[in-house]
Amino acid sequence: MIKIAVCDNDEKEMKLLKDLIEDIMEGYAVMYQIDTFTKGEALLNTELDFQLVFLDIVLDHENGIDVGYAIYRRNRRIKVIFQTNYGQYCKEAMNRSHAFAYLEKPLAKSEVEQQMVDFMKNGMEDHETKLEFRKVIAVYPDRRETKLLVRLLVCDIMYFGYLKAQKKIKIVTQDAEYVYKAAMNAVEERMKPFGFETSCRGILVNLGNVEKIQGYEVFMRNGDRVALSQKRVQLFKMRMNDYIQNYSGRE
């Protein structure tokens, strides 16, 4: 299912866009959900678990470009499509927030549909990709379970950690941890196409879930901090920059 947010301080225009999206999605066999917001602050107060956000550049007492940048900082996988009456701001908005696209008002159904189609073709890949892990111990906040097989979305994985004493791998997600037997070099090879990078020996980080890098620590979106070895700092930052450029350039 595609989770879509529409943020516009003009309720009439917000409803118009919502109706347009609903009309467009009727022609596609894709489940979707649309949440609406009149304030950027209200949008930012959510868990930001949307795949696509339509965001007005000019909001009451708020700068939509700043809101877009805040979204980007918290969740780089969200695709932002700006909408505006002021075309001169589009370049700044696109560059600063690494936006997916922009639309000039008044919105045309054909242009909105084209962006929706582009998103469904190119922007959903990481949200939809699931990987299988076998013979796993799943550790939840309130229980542990042994599972023959788990399927995890790549975008939900924060990092992998090597448990030396057990000779096993720990997968850390937002809500749980999963432990299974594997070699770290095999995990690194498997996850390479998905934007993962080694921060230090035994830690493999999902670059898409990095909040920030500070000193010799990597801050993850789930609140965890993982070590960044001194000898890997330069390479890790370079890989991070490459990831940001490649990911934002997919449109």
| 77/145: higher pLDDT | 145
Check whether 248 has a pLDDT greater than 70.
no
Rounded (10°) angle between helices 11-25 and 109-118: 60
Residue 5's pLDDT is: 98
Residue 192's pLDDT is: 84
- CA of residue 231 relative to chain centroid, distance: 28
CATH of 130-248, one of 2.40.50.1020, 3.40.190.10, 3.30.70.270, 3.40.50.720: 2.40.50.1020
Check whether 73 has a pLDDT greater than 90.
no
Question: Helix H segments across the chain?
Answer: 11-25, 40-44, 64-74, 90-97, 109-118, 125-128, 184-191, 233-248
- CA of residue 30 relative to chain centroid, distance: 20
Mean pLDDT of 36-40: 97
- Contact (Cβ atoms closer than 8 angstroms) between residue 34 and residue 22: yes
Nearest to 166 by CA among 157, 149, 179: 179
Topology of the domain comprising 2-127: Rossmann fold (3.40.50)
Strand (E) or helix (H) holding 28: none
Residue 125's pLDDT is: 58
131-143 pLDDT, tens digit per residue, is 889 999 999 999 9
Sorted by where each begins, the domain ranges of the chain are 2-127, 130-248
Check whether 223 has a pLDDT greater than 90.
yes
- CA of residue 101 relative to chain centroid, distance: 16
Mean pLDDT of 52-80: 89
Give the tokens for residue 180: 């299974």
Residue 200's pLDDT is: 97
- Contact (Cβ atoms closer than 8 angstroms) between residue 114 and residue 251: no
